[in-house]
Amino acid sequence: MFKRLLLIAWVGLMVFMVSCKGPQGEVGPQGEKGDTGAAGPAGPAGEDGTSGGGALIISSGADATDSTGSYITGISELTAADDSLLQSSAVLVYIKAQGVYWPLPGIVSFGNNTLSNFTFIHGIEESTFFVQLIQTDWSEQNLESAPERNFEDVRVVIIPGTILGRMNGQINLKSYEETIAALGLTDKDTKFGKKIKLVKK
């Protein structure tokens, strides 16, 4: 009986000692700084970014339509990546005349009451991206065929579909200036195209 009481008293003493909390001790001194570990391997280099998230401007510079009233501009030697991008992009075209960018399809004023209604087609043929401007009507009623028109520039804006889907629906895509501003593009993002003569097979 005595041993049993002694065991109970010993257990109670242990519980009491564990439950007691003494005062907080002082913070010890800071240890010495360890040696710097070896640098890890460098990660792979990322691809160069572009303004506008991949959108692009193609400029023809000052030129004129041909004897049929048509004009073809574009860029050649497309890479596989270029081809893939262009296949899934929106293409906007503007003719600059009298200091103004006119959206196509639509009417362009060349001054002196001369007007032409233009539309356009675009595509890829033999690693060349092309945009063909076509006159569908003109102000000179006495002409049976489309007249020659001189312009200050033709700008082609290429917008990847993924970017177009995120653009604000209130942006006026008929305005060249608003469009490139919304895309964050500047003149440094302009690629100069060239006049192209397509050979139809």
Tell me the backbone φ, ψ of residue 121, rounded to 5 degrees.
-130, 155
Per-residue pLDDT at 128 exceeds 70: yes
Q: HSE on the CB side for 135, CA within 13 Å?
A: 25
Cα distances from 2 to residues 7, 111, 115, 126, in angstroms, run 9, 122, 121, 106
Residue 33 banded pLDDT, cuts 50, 70, 90: low
How much is the pTM? 0.71
| Residue range 50-106, pLDDT digits in tens | 444 688 999 999 999 999 999 999 999 888 888 888 888 999 999 999 999 999 999
